[in-house]
């Protein structure tokens, strides 16, 4: 039986770089999905709130229910939910308030986790979580984004690693 040889070149470093770039794009897509899921979970109070005219009594009558997502009153919190990539950590994305160029929202943590009552036993805010449920609701979409295949018909070559077809420049599987 005659042996045949094929000229295959190892492009492992190029493959790793291409894979990292692909994952960065997938992570960006996943962060956008989570951000959209979180902001779409907010309720609507039914009144124009805050500085634009609703009275305190109107806003109090339309408060969000405890353990449900917060209602939009002024829209400040909803507008300031965003995502970014921390410096020096290319494969990490953060989603929340006061991230990137978004403004800090001081009461965001109070809504997410609630507050304790004062010493007299009055007051305190029951939680109105929005970040954690948004992340949980987006779990399948995140998985779909993170497992998108790389373009270019990437395959693992028999015997071990990626190879690039010299005619097309794509990573391919050869047998």
Phi and psi at residue 20, to the nearest 5°? -60, -45
Domain ranges of the chain: 12-148
Report the alpha-carbon distance of residue 22 to residue 25 in Å, rounded: 5
Cβ neighbors of 90 (< 8 A, separation 6 or more) are: 20, 24
3-state secondary structure (DSSP) of residue 19: helix
- Determine the pLDDT at residue 71: 86
pLDDT single digits (tens) 103-154 = 778 888 889 999 998 888 888 889 999 999 999 999 999 999 998 888 764 5
Percent of the chain with pLDDT over 70: 74
Is pTM beyond 0.85? Reply is no
The CB-based long-range contact list for 49-53 (8 Å cut-off, 24+ gap) reads 49/73, 49/74, 50/74, 50/76
Give the pair of three-digit tokens for residue 173: 């599987």
- Determine the pLDDT at residue 2: 55
Report the alpha-carbon distance of residue 146 to residue 29 in Å, rounded: 8
User: What mean pLDDT is reported for the chain?
Assistant: 81
Pick from 95, 68, 62: nearest CA to 80: 95
Report the alpha-carbon distance of residue 61 to residue 56 in Å, rounded: 9
- Burial pattern 151-175, b for ≥16 Cβ within 10 A else e, equals eeebeebeeeebbbeeeeeebbeee
Give the pair of three-digit tokens for residue 32: 């956008």
């Amino acid at each position: 039986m005659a042996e045949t040889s094929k000229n295959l070149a190892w492009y492992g470093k190029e493959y790793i770089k291409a894979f990292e770039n692909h994952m960065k794009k997938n992570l960006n897509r996943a962060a956008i999905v989570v951000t959209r899921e979180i902001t779409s979970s907010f309720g609507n109070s039914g009144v124009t709130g805050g500085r634009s005219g609703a009275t305190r009594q109107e806003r109090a009558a339309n408060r969000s229910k405890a353990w449900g997502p917060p209602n939009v009153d002024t829209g400040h919190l909803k507008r300031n939910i965003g995502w970014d990539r921390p410096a020096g950590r290319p494969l990490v994305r953060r989603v929340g308030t006061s991230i990137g160029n978004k403004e800090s929202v001081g009461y965001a943590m109070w809504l997410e986790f609630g507050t304790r009552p004062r010493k007299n036993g009055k007051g305190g805010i029951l939680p109105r979580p929005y970040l954690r449920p948004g992340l949980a609701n987006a779990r399948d979409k995140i998985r779909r984004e993170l497992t998108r295949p790389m373009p270019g018909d990437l395959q693992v070559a028999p015997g071990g690693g990626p190879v690039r077809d010299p005619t097309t420049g794509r990573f391919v599987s050869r047998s």
